[in-house]
Amino acid sequence: MAQDNFSQVTEFILLGLSDTQELQLLFFTFFLLAYSMVLLGNLLIIVTVRTDPKLSSPMYFLLCNLSFIDICYTSVTIPRVLVALLSGHKAIAFEACMAQLFFLHFLGSSEMFLLTVMAFDRYTAICRPLHYTAIMARGACWALVAACWVGGFIHSIVQTVLMLQLPFCGPNTIHSYFCDVPPVVRLACTDTTLTEWLMASNSGLISLGCFLVLVTSYGLILAKVRAHVSQGHRKALSTCASHVMAVTLLFMPCIFTYLRPAGTLPTSKYVCVIYTIFSPVMNPLIYTLRSSEMKESMWRLWKHCRA
């Protein structure tokens, strides 16, 4: 029977991570602490970079943008989860679900592109130091960041348009704590094979492509550092190590989740916790604790605030 172009489902039910009352209290505490750490940590990075002239290099400009994306990215999902855990109201309107899906992919893919740009920045600084100032000029940095946002928007709008073409007229229960492509597309009451492959090609290949570029960049950096061992290169290697940690936390779960059609294997909602919560929580810790300049600047900011 032909399906109507308009969805008959007006809302979805987000089941969350658990129905057990005791676990819900535990999850509420976890989500609240995680969100607080994301907000405080990333706001501290933004304020520190913006107020300290010594942190004017392209690396810290890009880090400031990463912190802003992480704040927005977690704000798409965690506040609604906290409200649902407190009130027990798990319903989300169809329009709100599609909006959450759009902004999740918009910000998530923009972050992937930005991490790729950060890897290019480190590669240029270490492997082409004489040309670094010219290549990573302020205008070029702004253009690269703008390209990340535009790329994220194009990716997300494609995902959302593909999703809106599907009819939803049956089950409306989502086995997750937020609206995402794999759990939502399974609810469509039509054959979604082609759509799933298109979405996997879009999200999965972006994740895999960015990850391969990052691995190649850091591989070249490692080869350069091993060939020229010095105190400065050791510092660069330490910085790159922190980037690799952040990249692994974000990309590996995303590749596992998106680089396949939604119906081939069940997607664990606990895997989603890694790239929606754990990765944004760890980013401020990774980038500040591994950077002596950031720690010194934060200490100076703290003493200035106390004065």
- In the three-class reduction of DSSP (H, G, I as helix; E, B as strand; rest coil), residue 93 is classed as strand
For the record, the structure tokens of 226 come out as 């091993």
Say what the pLDDT of residue 230 is.
54
Q: Quick check: is 6 in a domain?
A: no
Mean pLDDT for 195-208 is: 82
Its domain, for residue 214, covers 12-306
Q: Quick check: is 5 in a domain?
A: no
Q: What is the pLDDT of residues 64-80, one digit of tens each?
A: 999 999 999 999 999 99
Query: How do 173-174 and 91-93 pair as beta strands?
Result: unpaired
Q: Quick check: is 261 in a domain?
A: yes
Q: What is the pLDDT of residues 134-175, one digit of tens each?
A: 899 999 999 999 999 999 999 999 999 989 888 888 788 888
Q: Quick check: is 119 in a domain?
A: yes
Q: Quick check: is 145 in a domain?
A: yes
Q: What percent of the chain has pLDDT over 90?
A: 30
- The residue ranges of DSSP E strands in 9-94, in sequence order, are 11-14, 91-93
Say what the pLDDT of residue 101 is.
93
Q: What does the mean pLDDT of the chain come to?
A: 84
Residue type for position 160: T
Q: Quick check: is 1 in a domain?
A: no
Task: List phi, psi (to 5°) of 45.
Answer: -65, -45
Q: Quick check: is 236 in a domain?
A: yes
Most confident of 32-41, 202-211, 274-283: 32-41
Calpha distance 276→260 (Å, rounded): 19
Q: In this structure, is the dihedral angle defined by the CA atoms of residues 120, 208, 80 and 101, taken in order, positive or negative?
A: positive
Instruction: Starting at the earlier edge strand, list the strands of the sheet with 173-174.
Output: 91-93, 11-14, 173-174
Q: In CATH, what number is assigned to the domain containing residue 181?
A: 1.20.1070.10
Q: Quick check: is 79 in a domain?
A: yes
Split into its structural domains, the chain has a count of: 1
